[in-house]
Amino acid sequence: MPSVSFEHVSKHFGEARVVEEFDLEVADGELLVLVGGSGSGKSTILRMLAGLESVTTGAIRIGDRDVTTLPPRERNVAMVFQDYALYPHMTVRDNLSVGLRLKSAPKAEIERRVSWAAGMLGLEPLFDRKPKQLSGGQRQRVAMGRAMVREPLVFLFDEPLSNLDAGLRAQMRIEIGSLQRRLNTTTVYVTHDQVEAMTLGDRIVVLADGRIQQVGRPVDIYRAPINRFVAGFIGTPPMNFLSGTIDQSQGTTAFIADGVRVQLPGNRAAARPSEPVTLGIRPEDLIVEPGGEGGGPPLPDVLRGRVLLVERLGGSSHIHLDVGPPPHRVVAAVSNDVLPDVGASVTAHVRAERTHLFGADGSALR
């Protein structure tokens, strides 16, 4: 039985349709990540599951219970908020225990659960402090502890790492992941950061304009994005896109644009000749080599261009290329072995077998 299910859930604020026909099942113990840009509806979905926002149409179930109209306290879910939402006037101990005290849990039980959560998160030394006296990471841990002591059926995380600096964010991401695996509690996690989504999620739901774009394992979404939006959203640096048409004149299917010809592998049955299409190339699927000046007919699977910018990231680098005409800009992710100078002419070999093709409406052509 799924732990959480959304059945045709929609949310409208007056005329604005924030979530449309959201249909999804979350498996027991799964960590599901909702990812999307701002206005994609991801937080609204989470808040509807929490009971903080009403549902316009559709139903939400937790286990076998229909919770669509239940208030938050009757849903047995716990939430970690973006700003942690710790009660500023209460100590860490009180913040952890307040939910249980409100439920009139026995004192011994409260004590046991609070020490258990505090032990797991290393919060004991902070018990008598107030939130103001804690660092960002400590507040984050207290917020997680407060959710844990309730031993809920479902954990909800609403962009919990977005207020932390980069280093702490990476550390807390690992902590949340390992904690979730240890507790094995069903978790719905909302983020706009696709790196968090890729690294944390058992499955990812990519959202745009209140609709599901794609649901799947992170690696599947990365390898086979269902449309141009997903292809551009998942992956850093984002996928490169070239506009062109399909050519089937030589017995094979190829993508052509000015000065570019990329042989498409397999039988892309969905692609029709002369149809405007977009070719997607991941930055790591471009192999940059020096040289390649001059005109001549386009070489298969090669982009010729000039280096606009080299971003050295330490272990690897991003090379920004101008591969016009017409001015096309692409980014290649390369190792640091040989880096071209800015302004140098280079050729970029395309791993044609790993390219993606999108039709005029943005959907993937396979």
Partner 1 sequence: MRSVRRVALYGVLALAAVTFIYPFLWMASSTLKPPSEVGSLSLFPGHITLDNYRKMWERAPFGRALLNSAFVATTITAAVLVLGSMTAYAMARLRFRGRPLLNAATLAVLMVPGQLTLIPLYTVMVKLGWIDTYAALIVPYVFNATAVLMLRQFFLQIPQSLVDSGRMDGMGELRILFTIFWPLAKPALAIVAIFTFMGSWNEVLWPLLVVRDQRLMTLPQLLTVFALGGGAGSIGVSLASAMVLVVPVVVAYAFLQRYFIESMAGAGIKG
Name every residue whose Cβ is closer than 8 Å to that of residue 155 and which is 6 or more positions away in sequence.
77, 78, 79, 80, 147, 180, 185, 186, 187, 188
Task: List the one residue from 78, 254, 257, 332 that touches partner 1 (CB under 8 A).
Answer: 78
Using rule CB under 8 A, residue 131 touches partner 1: no
Beta strands in the chain (DSSP E): 4-13, 16-26, 31-36, 57-62, 65-66, 77-80, 154-158, 186-191, 203-208, 211-216, 240-247, 254-257, 260-263, 276-281, 286-290, 302-312, 316-322, 329-335, 345-350, 356-358
16 is an interface residue for partner 1 by CB under 8 A: no
Tell whether residue 280 is a contact of partner 1 (CB under 8 A).
no
Closest-CA residue to 199 (of 154, 231, 234): 234
Closer by beta carbon to partner 1, 106 or else 251: 106
Rule CB under 8 A: choose which of 85, 168, 224, 308 binds partner 1: 85
Which of 46-54, 184-192, 236-244, 326-334 is the region at the interface with partner 1 (rule: CB under 8 A)?
46-54
Q: Binder to partner 1 among 82, 163, 248, 263 (CB under 8 A)?
A: 82
Give how many residues touch partner 1 by CB under 8 A: 23
- Alpha-carbon distance of 126 to 92, in angstroms, equals 7
- Find the binder of partner 1 among 19, 26, 50, 334 (CB under 8 A): 50
Among 2, 39, 58, 72, binds partner 1 (CB under 8 A): 72
Residue with tokens 């349709």: 17
Q: Per-residue x/- marks for partner 1, 220-259, CB under 8 A?
A: ----------------------------------------
SS3 12: strand
117 binds partner 1 (CB under 8 A): no
Ramachandran quadrant class, 334 (left: phi over 0; alpha: psi -120 to 50; beta: rest): beta
Sequence-ordered alpha helix ranges (H) in the chain: 42-50, 92-102, 107-121, 136-149, 166-183, 194-200, 218-223, 228-233
In 10 A of CB 165, how many CB atoms?
Answer: 10
Q: Does 13 bind partner 1 (CB under 8 A)?
A: no
List the one residue from 36, 41, 51, 305 that touches partner 1 (CB under 8 A): 51
**Residue 44: CB minimum distance to partner 1, A:** 13
Q: Is the CB of 104 or the CB of 274 nearer to partner 1?
A: 104
**Using CB under 8 A, which of the segments 27-35, 70-78, 258-266, 284-292 binds partner 1?**
70-78
The only residue of 27, 59, 98, 168 in contact with partner 1, by rule CB under 8 A: 98
**Which residue's CB is nearer to partner 1, number 50 or number 365?**
50
- The two three-digit tokens of residue 232, written as one number: 């551009």
Based on the shown chain and the rule CB under 8 A, indicate whether residue 56 belongs to the binding site for partner 1. Answer: no
Task: Starting at the earlier edge strand, list the strands of the sheet with 57-62.
Answer: 16-26, 4-13, 57-62, 65-66
| 23-31, 69-77, 184-192, 267-275 -> range binding partner 1 (CB under 8 A) | 69-77
Spatial CB neighbours of 115, under 8 Å, sequence gap ≥ 6: 124
Interface with partner 1 includes 37 (CB under 8 A)?
A: no
163 part of the interface to partner 1, by CB under 8 A:
no
| Antiparallel, parallel or unpaired: β 154-158 and 186-191 | parallel
Could you say which of 8, 12, 89, 217 contacts partner 1 (CB under 8 A)? 89
Q: Which residue has the tokens 């042989």?
A: 263
Residues of this chain that interact with partner 1 (CB under 8 A) are 47, 50-52, 71-73, 77-79, 81-89, 98-99, 102-103
